[in-house]
Amino acid sequence: MFKKYLLFFLFLSTLPSVLFAQERVINRANDKYEEYSFKPAIDIYKKVYEKGFESPDLLKRLGNAYYFNAEYKEAAPIYKLLLDKYDSIITPDYVFRYAQALKTIGEYEEARSAMERFAKLTNDTALVKRLSEDYLKVIEENSGRYDLQNFPYNSKYSDFAPSFYKEGLIFSSDRDTGNFARYRHTWNAKDFLDLYKVDVQGLSENKVFKIDALETATQNADLTETETERLPKKKNRINSRFHESTSVVTKDGKTMYFTRNNFLDGKKYKDEAGTTRLKIYQATMIDGTWTNITELPFNSDSYSVAHPALSPDEKMLYFASDMPGSFGESDIFKVQIMGDGTFGTPVNLGATINTNARETFPFVTQKDILYFASDGHLGLGGLDVFATKIAFDEYDQPVVNVGKPINSPYDDFTFIIDEETSEGYFASNRLDGMGEDDIYAFKETSPLRLDCRQQVTGTVRDRISNELLVSAKVNIIDENNMEVNSVMTNEKGEYILELDCNQGNFVRASMEGYIPSEEYLPKSYGKPQIVDFYLERDVVSGGFGDDLAKLLQLSTIYFDLNKYDIRPDAEVEIQKVIAAMEKYPSLKIKVNAHTDSRGNDDYNLWLSEKRAAATVDYMIAKGIAIDRLESEGYGEQKLLNECENGVRCSAEKHQLNRRSEFIILD
């Protein structure tokens, strides 16, 4: 598992020596530490510490050396001492590692307290919310859905990163295959990681082959001269003198994406700090061999890009990176694969998926479920496997821990599954394994129930007037006719709600004086929905003598001075009255028309009668039966303001009196 931490981008800072009498010893330990040789570093730091030489830097290094070497039981008390004695100078990452170490050894209550402290130090409100819930209970509810089996091809070394390939798998291993010692890594004197392939159906007689072997021949077979010539040259093979790990192959078997140290054409490259970063490379299958190895254009010598995964349509590549714009030590990103084989610009999947810790090893299923490993989301300890829905190119659905026995107090990662067979594989460094990391096969016995939250937004309006309705109620009613959520529209007539999209729901809008309206939303993958409501007035609630225009909240019907023809603005409002009468066939109305005070009384009475009759004639012409309409003119008898005879008023005030009303008849 030591190499795995290299793949997680744990690049540690240099510690100045502060122990004078032990300076030479500490410097030697620091050198080992900087080389990720944690075992030798632990031995030296421990001896110095046991002799009574203590400093925050020494405790940091000793705690980290234990932690990164998966000796969590030893790391926890060192971190505790560091936090208790040197609290004022400790950064949040040490609090986080302390919490992770506690979880790994089963001290969950103490781990929760440490995580609460970490959330406070980092102002992580999302983590505070998650900690307020009983996350262990949620994990337990998702547990017990997998039957595990030992993977027969594990070794006593490190085996992980399975990926589907033809009838079998490709995986990464540092098993001893005869490499010379000069290629061994300083962490643990084990071989560098290489990619291997195996036929898990047994067709290859349980033999494991290097990925660079010919597809038409086995490594142990005697190759003909022609076949030997077909093998790629060493500089252009997938497996190099350094690490190769995670991989994914396209469905047609012609393209592979894989992770490797920054090494190409026989040369190794480092960043300014001297660290060899990780990159994703692409290889092409030609005549049974992988060749034409090139690095992807968004790689960098300054940060790591690793652990490729493809979307079901193979138009999107997912990967992990600590590139600028990351939330934590490593985040999940995506990049579009263009039709011409070029790539778009990498995009971070966002704060719902990524945390300020590690998110890595993505895998996407045919049903658009993203599985990934994380120690930033709440789990059982170390890396846990999590899942979330990503359909419709949305990345805001809840993240769910897949539960036991996939997850354990140790590192569990590189999860893959075939949804048609419900069979898959993952890796773990749990204690019952054969090697440092082991691959496990599993059968999913019941599907994972992912939380699915769908956002529904919209407006509520009057159907006739199109006016936005304020304080209308919008509620969610599930298929059992139970109200599960509700909200009132704001001053703009808008609402926003969330519902559980694992089931169908009714969205209902209602308001006093209106007939309720609802729309059914079937279960979905969570794509946001816009549902606008247009409520119809319950005009039956109006009584004899009520003004229909007021019930429908219409604009006033106005006329020009000395005219009775229907103006265009008035026509729009009369159409709304017509729509209401078509909706309610029993509705009868009387049109009352009025004038202003200018002109003599007899003329104004005649003019108002003409206006009322013109309005009725217009409605009859539009299909309203004559026996449902009456009209009457009132002249200047019912003025709305002080503008009577002899009073000087503005044109605007006189306009207010030239109007029609629509009175409901009994």
Interval 211-222 mean pLDDT: 56
Which pLDDT score, from 0 to 100, does residue 81 have?
Answer: 92
Residue whose token pair is 């970490």:
118
User: In the chain, what percentage of residues exceed pLDDT 70?
Assistant: 82
For the chain, the average pLDDT equals 83
pLDDT tens-place string over residues 246-262: 999 999 999 999 998 87
CB 222 within 8 A of CB 240: no
Q: Which tokens belong to 597? A: 């005070």
Checking DSSP bridges between strand 629-633 and strand 557-558, what pairing results, if any?
unpaired
Comparing CA positions, the residue from 166, 365, 312 lying closest to residue 253 is 166
Quote the pTM value.
0.69
Q: List CB contacts of 103: < 8 A, sequence separation 6 or more.
A: 111, 379, 380, 381, 382, 409
Interval 80-86 mean pLDDT: 92
Residue 621, pLDDT above cutoff 80:
yes
pLDDT tens-place string over residues 93-123: 899 999 989 998 889 989 999 988 888 888 8
Which pLDDT score, from 0 to 100, does residue 136 have?
Answer: 86
CB 505 within 8 A of CB 480: no
Comparing CA positions, the residue from 151, 194, 199, 197 lying closest to residue 173 is 194
Top mean pLDDT of 184-188, 414-418, 586-590 is at 414-418
Cis peptide before 152 (omega within 30 of 0): no
Looking at 198-212, 463-477, 612-626, which range is the least confident one?
198-212
Residue 51, pLDDT above cutoff 90:
no
The full set of domains in the chain, from first to last, is 2-132 (1.25.40.10), 155-302 (no CATH), 453-537 (2.60.40.10), 542-664 (3.30.1330.60)
pLDDT tens-place string over residues 503-531: 899 999 999 888 899 999 998 878 889 99
pLDDT tens-place string over residues 267-301: 666 666 656 788 999 999 988 888 889 999 999 98
Which whole-number Å values give the CA distances from 491 to 45, 467, 470, 536, in the listed order? Answer: 65, 12, 5, 20
Residue 20, pLDDT above cutoff 60:
no
Interval 656-664 mean pLDDT: 83
Q: Which tokens belong to 270? A: 């480092």
pLDDT tens-place string over residues 370-428: 999 999 999 998 899 999 988 777 788 889 999 999 999 999 999 999 999 999 999 99
Which pLDDT score, from 0 to 100, does residue 132 have?
Answer: 73
Looking at 219-233, 467-481, 608-622, which range is the least confident one?
219-233
Return the SS3 of 321: strand
* Burial of residue 508, with CB atoms counted within 10 A of its CB: 0-12 exposed, 13-18 middle, 19 or more buried: middle
Q: List CB contacts of 384: < 8 A, sequence separation 6 or more.
A: 373, 374, 375, 377, 401, 402, 407, 412
Tell me phi and psi for residue 555, to 5 degrees: -75, 155
